[in-house]
Structures are given as structure tokens and as C-alpha cells.
């Protein structure tokens, strides 16, 4: 079988890149073992324009956020499934000083599109503690990443574009003008293999910094239609079920749930919310984060037909569409990759 792109891995990165290639009219084959660990299956899928303790715009959000909503909406139509949930995020202010700072900041051209409202007095008081008010954000919500990945795999299978296989790198043969893997010949191979890149002989030199994350599912009688976010996020799903997370652990990377993570999340949740809740489930996954918190995008230093699209970390939902589009434009038309994501920044480690 001959294709333009062999794509290794079908988590969020592999799914999003595959769709861009298909939309461009090029041919693909996706190779993945769905039984392997995949952070996209348990990720919260949040996209949030204002983040961090200092409440600043997330890196590159003006470019990322204008593209991600129409992209995921297009996937919804294609897969006939609700994948994108647009929902305001409410972030309580820690102090009156921060409230006062944001009263002026929210009118600035760079921030105004992302601010739905500044609450100068406590709001949502039946549910949460926010004595100093808070900020209600626009252009935010979440993607059902687990459903996206599973529905897209079904689509690929229906088209004969999916090979259920744990990739054996020793069977990847580099040829003139392309590569061969078993019965598949391709012009390029793109590794979107998440944490497995640690065992990838072509890219194991890149400084991956995996981060284990645990989250909870809770049941509550509280009713709300915004995402609460302070210390933890609380995402209302349906029928009183909410997703709460997440922990960040870059030391203990064993993918097992822990009582310590549960206690941490429950403690932070109780600091934020007033309502009663019951923990009904706990999930764990490992995010493929990087040393400098920017994705790995680009061509192998010695083999231009071997490519990587990885390291999306905790912000994969917002990063993946824009940089999949940019990577494909680079491969097909020679457009420049952003220096912040191009793996040339780490060629000294090769």
C-alpha cells in the first residue's frame, strides 16, 4: 500500500494531524495500538485563554483560539458527534487588588475578546467561595478528547486507513524518497506517539518531561453551567456528574491512581466549592510535556522524511489544530515553522 503519510499514534495529536492531511487531499495510514496508554483518553480537554496564578493570556492564544473552534466544529459535523462544548470559565479573584487590576485590564485590546464579564462582587454564591468576585471568560470550554479519539478511529477503520499495531521501529526502513513499514510505503512518517517517543530511536534525544495527572469524577446536586477554576477545575458534564482536576506530578510517573492525588483534589475542591459531592471515579494519564513547555514539531536532523508532532502537554486541545496546520504547510509548501516549536531548537542534543 502506498500513501503520502504514515502517521504513528492516534491520540489527540495523531487525530488532529490526520484530519488536516485528509482535508488537504493527501493519503494516510494511521498505525496505533488502542490498548496502550493514551493521555487523550482521560484528559480534561480544557481550552482556556487566561491561565496561571497571575492570570495571563496563554501563550500564542490569539492565533490558536481563532482557529480551534471552527476546526473542532468541522470535526463534529464530519463525525456526527458532539465533541466541542463552548462554556465560560469563572475564575475567582484571590484578592481585591487583583479585582482592581482586572477592572482596567479587561478593557485592553489584547484582553477584551476573552473577557465576558468582571464580577466585582461575589457570584455563584450558592456553589463557590469568591469573596472578591472573579473573571468570567469568553472563548473557553472543553473538547471531549476521549470521544474524539474513539470516533475518529472508527472513521479511519471504516475507510481502511487504520492499522492496529504496536509499532516496531526496527521494521521502519528508510528508502530513497520515502520510508517503508511492513506492507506500507509512504513519502513521510510522522510520529505523534505521545510519551512513547521516549522509546523512539529517531527522537528519544528530545527532552520530553512527562507529567502524570489524576482527576476525579464527582456526583453532586448542584446545578451550574460554567466551569469553575481556582486550584482545581470543575467541569459540569451531565446528570450531576462533574470532572475535577488535575494533579501535576513529574516525579512519580507510574500510571496508577493514588490516594494522595485523591486527597489533594478533594482538599482543593472543598476550598473552592460549597456544595456536597461524592467521588465516584478516579482516572490517571501521563501528559507528553516538554522541557520548555512548547511542542516538538519538525523534521529529524538527518532524515527529512521522518517527522515529529508531539509534546503538546496539558494544552494540547488548543495547540494541536494550529500547529498541525502549520506543520502540514511546512511539509507540503515549505512554510516556516514557529521557532518556539521547531525541534531545531534542540538539535544540539542530537
Q: Which of 285, 23, 286, 39 is nearest to 155 (CA)?
A: 23
Residue 44: its pLDDT value, please? Answer: 87
Residue 34: its pLDDT value, please? Answer: 87
- Residue 7's SS3 state is strand
Spatial contact of 249 and 211, defined as CB atoms under 8 Å apart:
yes
Looking at the structure, tell me whether residues 104 and 240 fall in a common domain.
no
Residue 288: its pLDDT value, please? Answer: 93
Looking at the structure, tell me whether residues 152 and 6 fall in a common domain.
yes
Residue 39: its pLDDT value, please? Answer: 75
Looking at the structure, tell me whether residues 256 and 320 fall in a common domain.
no
Looking at the structure, tell me whether residues 127 and 263 fall in a common domain.
no
- Distance (Å, rounded) from C-alpha 184 to C-alpha 26? 15
Is residue 82 included in any domain, yes or no? Answer: no
User: Cα-flanking dihedrals φ and ψ of residue 219, to 5°?
Assistant: -120, 135
Looking at the structure, tell me whether residues 240 and 259 fall in a common domain.
yes
Looking at the structure, tell me whether residues 283 and 215 fall in a common domain.
yes
Looking at the structure, tell me whether residues 123 and 230 fall in a common domain.
no
Is residue 79 included in any domain, yes or no? Answer: no
User: How many domains does the chain fold into?
Assistant: 3
Residue 37: its pLDDT value, please? Answer: 67
Q: Give the residue numbers spanning the domain of 297.
A: 2-42+146-208+291-349
Looking at the structure, tell me whether residues 322 and 203 fall in a common domain.
yes
Task: Provide long-range contacts, Cβ within 8 A and 24+ apart, for 160-163.
Answer: 161/18, 161/28, 161/29, 161/30, 162/10, 162/29, 162/30, 162/31, 162/32, 163/29, 163/30, 163/31, 163/32
Q: Which of 301, 296, 280 is nearest to 337 (CA)?
A: 296
Looking at the structure, tell me whether residues 322 and 335 fall in a common domain.
yes
- Per-residue pLDDT tens listing for the chain (350 residues): 999 999 999 999 999 999 999 999 999 999 999 887 667 777 889 999 998 777 889 999 999 999 999 999 999 999 999 999 999 999 999 999 999 999 988 889 899 999 999 999 999 999 999 999 999 999 999 999 999 999 999 999 999 999 999 999 999 999 988 999 999 999 999 999 999 999 999 999 999 999 999 999 999 999 999 999 999 999 999 999 999 999 999 999 898 999 999 999 999 999 999 999 999 999 999 999 999 999 999 999 999 999 999 999 989 999 999 999 999 999 999 999 999 999 999 999 99
Is residue 192 included in any domain, yes or no? Answer: yes
DSSP code, position 58: P
- CATH label of the domain that carries residue 174: 3.50.50.60
Amino acid at each position: 500500500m502506498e500513501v503520502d503519510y504514515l502517521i504513528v499514534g492516534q491520540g489527540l495529536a495523531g487525530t488532529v494531524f490526520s484530519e488536516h492531511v485528509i482535508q488537504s487531499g493527501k493519503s494516510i495510514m494511521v498505525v496505533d495500538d488502542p490498548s496502550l496508554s493514551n493521555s487523550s483518553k482521560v484528559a480534561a480537554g480544557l481550552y482556556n485563554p487566561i491561565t496561571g496564578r497571575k492570570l495571563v493570556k496563554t501563550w500564542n492564544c490569539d492565533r490558536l483560539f481563532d482557529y480551534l473552534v471552527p476546526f473542532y466544529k468541522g470535526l463534529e459535523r464530519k463525525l456526527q458527534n458532539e465533541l466541542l462544548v463552548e462554556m465560560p470559565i469563572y475564575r475567582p479573584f484571590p484578592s481585591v487588588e487583583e479585582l482592581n487590576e482586572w477592572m482596567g485590564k479587561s478593557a485592553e485590546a489584547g484582553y477584551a475578546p476573552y473577557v465576558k464579564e468582571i464580577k466585582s462582587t461575589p457570584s455563584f454564591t450558592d456553589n463557590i467561595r469568591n469573596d472578591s468576585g472573579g473573571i468570567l471568560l469568553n472563548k473557553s470550554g472543553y473538547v471531549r478528547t476521549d470521544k474524539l479519539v474513539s470516533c475518529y478511529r472508527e472513521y479511519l477503520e471504516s475507510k481502511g486507513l487504520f492499522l492496529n499495531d504496536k509499532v516496531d521501529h526496527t521494521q521502519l526502513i528508510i528508502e530513497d524518497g520515502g520510508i517503508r513499514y511492513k506492507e506500507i510505503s509512504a513519502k513521510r512518517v510522522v510520529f505523534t506517539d505521545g510519551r512513547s517517543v521516549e522509546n523512539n530511536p529517531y527522537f528519544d534525544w528530545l527532552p520530553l518531561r512527562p507529567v502524570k495527572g489524576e482527576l476525579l469524577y464527582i456526583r453532586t446536586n448542584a446545578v451550574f453551567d460554567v466551569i469553575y477554576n481556582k486550584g482545581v477545575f470543575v467541569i459540569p458534564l451531565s446528570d450531576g456528574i462533574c470532572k475535577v482536576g488535575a494533579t501535576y506530578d513529574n516525579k512519580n510517573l507510574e500510571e496508577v491512581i493514588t490516594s494522595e492525588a485523591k486527597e489533594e483534589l478533594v482538599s482543593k475542591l472543598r476550598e473552592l466549592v460549597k456544595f456536597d459531592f461524592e467521588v465516584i471515579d478516579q482516572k490517571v494519564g501521563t501528559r507528553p510535556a516538554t522541557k520548555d513547555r512548547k511542542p516538538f514539531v519538525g523534521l529529524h536532523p538527518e532524515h527529512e522524511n521522518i517527522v515529529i508532532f508531539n509534546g503538546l502537554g496539558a494544552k494540547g486541545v488548543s495547540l494541536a489544530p494550529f500547529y498541525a496546520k502549520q506543520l502540514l504547510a511546512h511539509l507540503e509548501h515549505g512554510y516556516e515553522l514557529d521557532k518556539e516549536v521547531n525541534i531545531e531548537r534542540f538539535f544540539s542534543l542530537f
